A and B are shown apart, each in its own frame.
Chain A
Amino acid sequence: AQKVTQAQTEISVVEKEDVTLDCVYETRDTTYYLFWYKQPPSGELVFLIRRNSFDEQNEISGRYSWNFQKSTSSFNFTITASQVVDSAVYFCALSDMEYGNKLVFGAGTILRVKS
């Protein structure tokens, strides 16, 4: 069965610290997609990244980077030099063919960045 685990319920850091949000997934499918979404205090969901199972290259976008490791079924998200505006709930999600391409979400990690 499909499952996404975000073991960190809440993380607090001080501004300018680096922070890594962990995501571990389970799927029997060989073709799948992984996502990260950000939910700021205003409540909307903001898409951050999509990665397919055949592309294990790490990705960097500004202060954000993602480390995809199929060997450990992990798709971790790192924010470098965190800022107060990064405070939000972050969700990791999985979509695979067996589950009809529907999204399975992790429980989310609350990130608090203090000034």
Chain B
Amino acid sequence: DADVTQTPRNRITKTGKRIMLECSQTKGHDRMYWYRQDPGLGLRLIYYSFDVKDINKGEISDGYSVSRQAQAKFSLSLESAIPNQTALYFCATSDPSGDDYNEQFFGPGTRLTVL
């Protein structure tokens, strides 16, 4: 089974709708991240969480909110979706110690289309 899972994998929604993207991990990592990918722009950080009580805005947080329900779960919400939020969204985890220091482990991505 995958260490980092995202649901849904694909979603089409309409402008103004509220939508939640969910991320779960079994790696036991404290740090979790949400990125969006747009063609030609690479991945940009939306929000990140270094533990359950520590949530921070990233580079492009406007229009998004997050919830860290548990160490293993980190959800991204679009309160009122707009077409320019159409993108590929990735969740990632990392562990600041150990052999995987600084490596981020990515989920499979959620392709979101806002009409």
Contact = CB atoms under 8 A, between A and B. Distances in A.
A44 B106 contact: yes
Interface residues of B, number: 24
Given A9-B40, A91-B43, A101-B96, A45 B106 contact: yes
A96 B33 CA distance: 16
A101 B109 contact: no
A9 B40 CA distance: 8
Interface stretch (A54-62, A64-72, A79-87, A102-110): A102-110
A4 B41 CA distance: 11
A4 B45 CA distance: 14
Interface residues of A, number: 22
Among B43, B48, B58, the one with the most A-chain Cβ atoms within 10 Å of its Cβ is B43
Contacts of A101: 94, 96, 102
Interface in B1-54: 33, 40-45, 48, 50
B102 A43 contact: no
B33 A102 contact: yes
10 pairs of A and B residues whose beta carbons are closest in the complex? A105-B42, A45-B106, A105-B43, A107-B42, A33-B102, A95-B102, A44-B108, A43-B109, A108-B42, A50-B103
Interface of B: 33, 40-45, 48, 50, 58, 88, 90, 92, 94, 96, 101-106, 108-109, 111
Given A45-B90, A101-B96, 10 more contacts: A6-B42, A44-B108, A45-B106, A45-B109, A50-B102, A91-B42, A101-B94, A103-B43, A103-B92, A105-B44
